[in-house]
């Protein structure tokens, strides 16, 4: 059975009663025939860390795409800070820059430098001429350099993205998202394929930014132990359905969705799934 390493003093800020993301009976499909998600209900508190865990193909990444307006649900309602996430919604388009999104691919420009990649996060604040020619004002350049220091990349501002290690690339992706000055950070499998030490360094980095900027961080994980160690709540997705919502209280894993499952039952179920 998997062992959960409890953090006695979690880095993330305490749960707020202010809901920033709400989903009600959400269904969605890529082909209008088969549903990738079915009947999802989710409520996320502002300023917390929320993890979405599950096996590959379970629908985790699709949830993030719904949150940032890249997809719209076939059925049900979604509110992001009380606004419907839809590219045709003028209110949502105005607030899109406040959602930092890190895809699985990271989305870095491989032939651009660390500094150039990070400055991309400031583009929504520039006027049309500045944005078109990527003429970044000096205050934006200084802000980017400050963030470079915060994510541990000082001295690597001029290094091309393709020259970086996996951990360094993730630091650049985080820095670019922080450059947007977001209120919500969405990260899709950001620590996948990293060793345990580097994965925790990246998670600590996000924890620090989440606390410092009062971010709502929503991260997709395949590692249940890591998810429970860092998140206030963990939604477990299986075959497009949210089957559990759990979290750690003291030394106990609590079932917040039904209240019926014990810590042992939750971990036995997870261990069974990972062995399939």
What is the band of 15 on the pLDDT scale with cuts at 50, 70, 90?
very low
User: Residue 126's pLDDT is what?
Assistant: 87
23 has a pLDDT exceeding 70:
yes
What is the band of 269 on the pLDDT scale with cuts at 50, 70, 90?
low
User: Residue 143's pLDDT is what?
Assistant: 96
Q: At what angle do helices 138-150 and 166-179 cross, to 10 degrees?
A: 140
User: Residue 10's pLDDT is what?
Assistant: 41
Q: What is the pLDDT of residues 109-152, one digit of tens each?
A: 999 999 999 999 999 888 888 877 788 999 999 999 999 999 99
User: Residue 263's pLDDT is what?
Assistant: 64
Rounded to an integer, what distance in angstroms lies between the CA atom of residue 37 and that of residue 58? 8
Residue 132 belongs to some domain of the structure: yes
Q: What is the pLDDT of residues 234-253, one digit of tens each?
A: 999 989 999 888 888 777 78
Residue 4 belongs to some domain of the structure: no
Residue 201 belongs to some domain of the structure: yes
Range of lowest pLDDT (7-21, 45-59, 203-217, 245-259): 7-21
Residue 14 belongs to some domain of the structure: no
Residue 113 belongs to some domain of the structure: yes
Residue 1 belongs to some domain of the structure: no
Mapped onto helix, strand or coil, the DSSP state of residue 210 is helix
CB 161 within 8 A of CB 172: yes
Structurally, the chain folds into a number of domains equal to 1
Residue ranges making up the domain that contains 109: 19-274
What CATH code is carried by the domain that includes residue 233? 3.40.50.300
Mean of all residue pLDDT scores within the chain = 87
Residue 3 belongs to some domain of the structure: no
This prediction's pTM: 0.86
Residue 25 belongs to some domain of the structure: yes
User: Residue 14's pLDDT is what?
Assistant: 41
Helix%, strand%, coil% for the chain, nearest 5: 35, 25, 40
The arithmetic mean of pLDDT across residues 208-232, rounded, is 91
CB 35 within 8 A of CB 27: yes
Rounded to an integer, what distance in angstroms lies between the CA atom of residue 275 and that of residue 247? 22
Q: What is the pLDDT of residues 161-186, one digit of tens each?
A: 999 999 999 999 999 999 999 999 99
């Amino acid at each position: 059975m998997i062992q959960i390493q409890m953090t006695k003093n979690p880095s993330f800020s305490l749960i707020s009663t202010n809901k920033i993301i709400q989903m009600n009976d959400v269904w969605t499909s890529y082909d209008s025939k088969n549903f990738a998600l079915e009947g999802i209900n989710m409520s996320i508190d502002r300023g917390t860390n929320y993890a979405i865990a599950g096996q590959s193909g379970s629908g985790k990444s699709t949830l993030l795409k719904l949150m940032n307006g890249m997809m719209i649900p076939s059925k049900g309602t979604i509110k992001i800070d009380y606004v419907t996430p839809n590219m045709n919604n003028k209110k949502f388009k105005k607030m899109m820059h406040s959602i930092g999104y890190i895809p699985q691919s990271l989305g870095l420009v491989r032939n651009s430098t660390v500094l150039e990649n990070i400055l991309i996060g400031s583009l929504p604040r520039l006027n049309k001429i500045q944005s078109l020619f990527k003429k970044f004002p000096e205050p934006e350049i200084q802000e980017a350099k400050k963030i470079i220091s915060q994510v541990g990349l000082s001295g690597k501002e001029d290094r091309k993205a393709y020259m970086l290690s996996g951990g360094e690339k993730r630091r650049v992706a985080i820095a670019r998202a922080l450059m947007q000055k977001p209120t919500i950070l969405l990260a899709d499998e950001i620590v996948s394929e990293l060793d345990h030490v580097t994965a925790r360094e990246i998670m600590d980095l996000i924890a620090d930014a989440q606390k410092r900027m009062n971010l709502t961080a929503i991260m997709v994980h395949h590692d249940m132990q890591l998810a429970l160690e860092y998140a206030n709540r963990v939604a477990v997705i299986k075959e497009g359905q949210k089957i559990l919502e759990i979290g750690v209280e003291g030394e106990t894993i609590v079932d917040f969705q039904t209240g019926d499952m014990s810590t042992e039952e939750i971990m036995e179920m997870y261990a069974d799934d990972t062995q399939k």
